[in-house]
Structure 1
Amino acid sequence: MSLSACSTINPYTGEKQTSKAAGGAAIGAVSGALIGIATSDSAKERKERALAGAGIGAIAGGGVGYYMDVQEAKLRQKLEGSGVSVTRDGENIILNMPGNVTFDTDSTQVKSSFRSVLDSVSEVLKEYDSTMLQIAGHTDSTGGDRYNLLLSQQRAQAVADVLSGYGVQAVRMDVVGFGETQPIADNGSASGRQQNRRVELTLIPYEE
């Protein structure tokens, strides 16, 4: 997976940019990626059986790029102005959902105002159902390690639950919390801590 190819669209200006935050998001996705579909052979086999049982097929190798290109374009259109950034890293797509637009302080309940954004994401995910999801929660360094780990897990699960409620199959989702271990900005500043409080959705093509 190439990190040098990361690009992102600023959700407020609409401008394409390559940033430290985008690179950090990709690194975070790499280090925890594909808990179900790309770990051990036995885990992969179990996941594949579950996907087949849900009627989800793999993408032929030659069609992966186009499949993800069209999906990325639709996500960028739907998420413009939402506060969610869209980053492309190789064939993966990363949606960075900042904590300040997704959750109230210290809350694990998705804001009611953000549910429409997740509804828009789910519409694309249901159309492109050969895409697997890693949903990863992250926090800043404020508070204890155990608290931050639990908070990140609960927030990631809350996003997964909302997507599931909108019809995205649970078998496609892996949920994980990283606590404060994968910052994308300096925790020494308020703006940096705000960037670190996030949920990242990494969309991974399910290939043959």
Structure 2
Amino acid sequence: MRVVVATHNAHKVEELGRILSPLLPGIELVKYDGPDADETGDTFAANALIKAREAAQHTGLPALADDSGIAVDALEGAPGIRSARYAGTREDADNNALLLENLKGVEDRAAQFMCAAAFVDGEFEAVELGVWPGCVLTEARGAGGFGYDPLFQPDGETRASAELSAAEKDALSHRRRAFEQLAQVIRSRSL
């Protein structure tokens, strides 16, 4: 099955390939080359569907998309759906610096990585949500991953997400949790 992945983020395409290949044997992920969708939704799920619909319409292929980010309890869920644009520059270093600045002096740093995974194939649409609980560290650690990974410490871990191997992160992450559920929906649909 050929499926377009509605992102221009090469890291996400690689990560999804690693996650989905054992869950959906035979799936061929195709890189999206179309225009960015306007993410006008007010939830991760709404934005994931907007992106998947746009990619499916543009390519004529079934489409996968996700919308993900970090939600910090002390910041009333921010950066949330604006995680990638939090500092206004779309640069990971700027977003991380602003998050640390906004959490200066805050003791309860509970946070969750959240991911809504969407699949669109013609009239059929499905969305699943994955949540990875943890906390925001006081300084960046590790060189792996991307986005907020250097600042996020998953519950039950002593390492930042950026200190986990790709295989460890793939087994635990919010994206894994969302796409694992979505893969079950896709498998049941294609049986």
TM-score (norm 1): 0.28
Q: As a proportion of its length, which structure holds more strand?
A: 2
TM-score (norm 2): 0.30
Higher relative contact order at CA 8 Å, sep ≥6: structure 1 or structure 2? 1
